[in-house]
């Protein structure tokens, strides 16, 4: 019985780490795309002298 709980703990910990990593990547991606968007906007306005 202890073995089952041990495996369950590992599985739960693994899922937790994976979901946190996905969350971090999503947040990072959102942040990065916002920064890129702002840089693109600045570049376009310089290019077309808006």
Q: Rounded mean pLDDT of 18-34?
A: 85
Residue 10 has pLDDT above 80, yes or no: no
- Whole-prediction pTM value? 0.48
The per-residue pLDDT for 2 is 67
CA distance 39 to 45: 10
Judge contact between 50 and 44, C-beta under 8 A. yes
Residue 8 has pLDDT above 70, yes or no: yes
Q: Which residue has the higher pLDDT, 34 or 7?
A: 34
Chain centroid to Cα 41, Å, comes to 23
């Amino acid at each position: 019985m202890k073995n089952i709980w041990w495996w369950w703990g590992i599985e739960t910990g693994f899922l937790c780490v994976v979901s946190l990593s996905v969350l971090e990547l999503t947040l990072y991606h959102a942040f990065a795309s916002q920064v890129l968007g702002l840089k693109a906007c600045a570049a376009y306005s310089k290019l077309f002298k808006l």
